[in-house]
Amino acid sequence: MTKKKFFDTSVKIEKAVLVGLITQGESEEQEKEYLEELEFLVDTAGGETVKSFTQKMLRPDRATFVGTGKLEEINAFVKSEEIDMVVFDDELTPSQLRNIEKELQVKILDR
């Protein structure tokens, strides 16, 4: 007699990309530490961090947090690697969140 499964118990590991911004007064080393902490949080939650993106800017872009060129670069990677979620190392405004979700078409998380 074979055992029947009533429901699927397998867990899909979500692939994640991390995004950080190096603003005036922050060093690349600080941002690296922040992204390492964020990677640990993603891994603890059952995700797999595939890549990290950083950009130097004076301040976050009001519409998309990162510049349009960086967002296009992230989008190309997300599509080519079938990424499930993008995690930002900062709090996004509701309009930034909406604009980024519209562009990337994946789950967006922020700190």
- The pTM assigned to this predicted structure is 0.86
Considering Cα of 77, then 105, then 47, then 13, what sign does the dihedral take? Answer: negative
**Burial of residue 92, with CB atoms counted within 10 A of its CB: 0-12 exposed, 13-18 middle, 19 or more buried:** buried
Which pLDDT score is estimated for 11? Answer: 72
The tens digit of pLDDT for each residue in 56-68 reads 999 999 999 999 9
Please state, as a whole number, how many other Cβ atoms lie within 10 Å of the Cβ of residue 74.
23
**Residue 39: pLDDT band by 50, 70, 90 thresholds?**
very high
Q: 41-54, pLDDT tens digit by residue?
A: 999 998 999 999 99
Write down the residue that tokens 């519409």 correspond to.
63
In whole angstroms, give the CA distance from residue 108 to residue 71: 13
Q: Which has more confidence, 6 or 13?
A: 13
> In the numeric block, which tokens belong to residue 3?
């055992």
Q: Tell me how far apart the alpha carbons of residues 42 and 60 are, in angstroms, rounded to a whole number.
A: 23
Whole-number percent of the chain with pLDDT over 90: 77
Residue 109 has pLDDT above 60, yes or no: yes
Segment 89-106, tens digit of pLDDT: 999 999 999 999 999 999
